């Protein structure tokens, strides 16, 4: 039975956390120096390693002989803390029940020293979901924490936290994980799972993760479920709906060529393929914007979130159209975005706009 890759390959040591070097080295140094704070705040998009780092750090500060700042995994404390029933490291999910009761019981229990190691650690996930009264209860604990208490608050929405909480925490901002880092994680995990994957598919899956390890791995899960242990580029494209992108590029090319018949034919084909035409409008706008980036930015390859394949097609397409026209087209298509949602026939609206663009004459004002 195939287990979700994200669960199976959660990092157990700091060196397995990818793309957060600044945070990892700061946390390792704290473990090594034994200079541990009472409250930490981990912020950042989902799937960037907040909970993983919180778990590793909780064990590392308790471990009897940490290895380069990470838990050794072998000593009696590490083993005891690996047991899910241990009560020295407690996780609270603030999203599930607003946390009032949990924070209250936390205030009761925090007085008691840890059973196995030196510290009792509370990891509060999605801490921004706590209610005001839960925040107040938490604040009281943060104001006078017992010497053995460590709090790690994790959130995707840091601006929702009260300033009184923020000011008591050491803050770490988790970055989006770069495409290259995502590719290296995927490659390592595929190797360990004996999954064969070519470079092109690897890149496409990494890009689909959009900076999140969790998202990249859940895309990988879908592709593996579809194509088995040997991932093919075709299967990857199928799962990602990337063929759609190519048809959007073709449609735009027809507009640039002023080929009105070709425009109608492309829209017909896209519609026959079962594509949602409301989202087609948005995808055309994105495609035009990507072409503007290519025509005007020197580092366009870095800015655009597309595979090498698609990038090359976009570069070719960009050569056939002027920036002025693209701006005009982008205006027209972004104007119909909200209208599309309520249109009786989104297809007619798209056809009309595309034909208008195809007949656009940059020398005349139309």
Q: How far is the CB of 7 from Zn ion (least distance, A)?
A: 23
Length of the chain: 366
Q: How far is the CB of 84 from Zn ion (least distance, A)?
A: 17
CB atoms within 10 A of CB 365: 6
Q: How far is the CB of 65 from Zn ion (least distance, A)?
A: 6
Q: Are 14 and 24 in contact (CB under 8 A)?
A: yes
For residue 358, the number of C-alpha atoms closer than 13 Å in the C-beta half-sphere is 20
Does residue 231 sit in helix, strand or coil? strand
Q: How far is the CB of 56 from Zn ion (least distance, A)?
A: 12
Q: Which CB atom, from 63 or from 237, has the smaller least distance to Zn ion?
A: 63
Q: Which CB atom, from 67 or from 343, has the smaller least distance to Zn ion?
A: 67
Q: How far is the CB of 31 from Zn ion (least distance, A)?
A: 11
Restricting to residues 294-353, which ones interact with Zn ion according to CB under 5 A?
A: none
Q: Are 311 and 301 in contact (CB under 8 A)?
A: yes
Burial of 76 (0-12, 13-18, 19+ CB in 10 A): exposed
Restricting to residues 91-150, which ones interact with Zn ion according to CB under 5 A?
A: none
277 binds Zn ion (CB under 5 A): no
d(CA 86, CA 222): 34
Q: Which CB atom, from 75 or from 166, has the smaller least distance to Zn ion?
A: 75
Provide φ and ψ at 230, rounded to 5°: -115, 110
Q: Which CB atom, from 16 or from 337, has the smaller least distance to Zn ion?
A: 16
Q: List the x/- string, 158-197, binding to Zn ion by CB under 5 A.
A: ----------------------------------------
- Residue whose pair of structure tokens reads 């090319």 in the numeric block: 253
Q: How far is the CB of 29 from Zn ion (least distance, A)?
A: 18
Q: Crossing angle for the helix pair 323-335 and 277-296, nearest 10 degrees?
A: 150
- Helix (H) or strand (E) run with residue 52 in it: helix 50-60
Restricting to residues 43-102, which ones interact with Zn ion according to CB under 5 A?
A: 63, 71-72, 75, 78
Structure-token pair, residue 18: 């990818």
Q: How far is the CB of 81 from Zn ion (least distance, A)?
A: 8
d(CA 108, CA 229): 50
Q: Which CB atom, from 72 or from 278, has the smaller least distance to Zn ion?
A: 72
How many residues of this chain bind Zn ion (CB under 5 A)? Answer: 5
Q: Which CB atom, from 71 or from 346, has the smaller least distance to Zn ion?
A: 71
Q: How far is the CB of 67 from Zn ion (least distance, A)?
A: 8
Q: How far is the CB of 79 from Zn ion (least distance, A)?
A: 8
Q: Are 276 and 260 in contact (CB under 8 A)?
A: no
Q: Which CB atom, from 47 or from 71, has the smaller least distance to Zn ion?
A: 71
Q: Are 48 and 6 in contact (CB under 8 A)?
A: no
Q: Are 114 and 62 in contact (CB under 8 A)?
A: yes
The β-bridge partners of 196 are 230
d(CA 9, CA 2): 13
Q: Which CB atom, from 39 or from 78, has the smaller least distance to Zn ion?
A: 78
Q: Which CB atom, from 62 or from 266, has the smaller least distance to Zn ion?
A: 62
CA-based nearest residue to 286, from 300, 304, 273: 304
Q: How far is the CB of 287 from Zn ion (least distance, A)?
A: 52
d(CA 366, CA 361): 8
Q: Which CB atom, from 73 or from 162, has the smaller least distance to Zn ion?
A: 73
The residues binding Zn ion (CB under 5 A) are 63, 71-72, 75, 78
């Amino acid at each position: 039975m195939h287990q979700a890759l994200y669960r199976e390959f959660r990092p157990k040591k700091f060196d397995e956390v990818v793309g957060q070097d600044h945070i990892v080295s700061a946390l390792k140094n704290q473990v090594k120096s034994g200079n541990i704070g009472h409250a930490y705040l981990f912020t950042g998009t989902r799937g960037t390693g907040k909970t993983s780092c919180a778990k590793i750090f909780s064990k590392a500060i308790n471990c009897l002989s940490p290895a380069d700042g990470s838990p050794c995994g072998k000593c009696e404390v590490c083993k005891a803390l690996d047991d899910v029933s241990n009560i020295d490291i407690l996780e609270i999910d603030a999203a599930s029940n607003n946390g009032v009761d949990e924070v209250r019981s936390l205030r009761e229990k925090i007085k008691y020293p840890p059973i196995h190691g030196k510290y009792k650690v509370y990891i509060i996930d999605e801490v921004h979901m706590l209610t005001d009264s839960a925040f107040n209860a938490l604040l009281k604990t943060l104001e006078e924490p017992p010497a053995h208490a460590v709090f790690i608050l994790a959130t995707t929405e840091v601006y929702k936290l009260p300033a009184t909480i923020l000011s008591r925490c050491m803050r770490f901002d988790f970055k989006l994980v770069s495409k290259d880092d995502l590719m290296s994680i995927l490659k390592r995990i595929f190797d360990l799972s004996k999954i064969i994957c070519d470079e092109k598919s690897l890149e496409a899956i990494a890009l689909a993760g959009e900076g999140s390890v969790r998202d990249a791995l859940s895309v990988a899960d879908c592709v593996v479920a579809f194509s088995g242990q040997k991932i093919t580029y075709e299967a990857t494209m199928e799962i990602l709906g990337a063929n759609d992108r190519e048809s959007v590029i073709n449609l735009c090319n027809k507009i640039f060529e002023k080929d009105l018949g070709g425009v109608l034919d492309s829209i017909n084909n896209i519609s026959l393929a079962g594509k949602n035409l409301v989202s087609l409008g948005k995808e055309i706008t994105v495609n035009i914007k990507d072409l503007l980036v290519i025509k005007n930015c020197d580092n366009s390859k870095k800015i655009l979130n597309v595979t090498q394949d698609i990038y090359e097609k976009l570069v070719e397409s960009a050569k056939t159209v002027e920036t002025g026209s693209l701006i005009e087209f982008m205006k027209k298509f972004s104007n119909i975005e909200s209208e599309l949602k309520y249109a009786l026939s989104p297809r007619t609206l798209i056809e009309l706009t595309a034909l208008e663009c195809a007949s656009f004459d940059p020398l005349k004002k139309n």
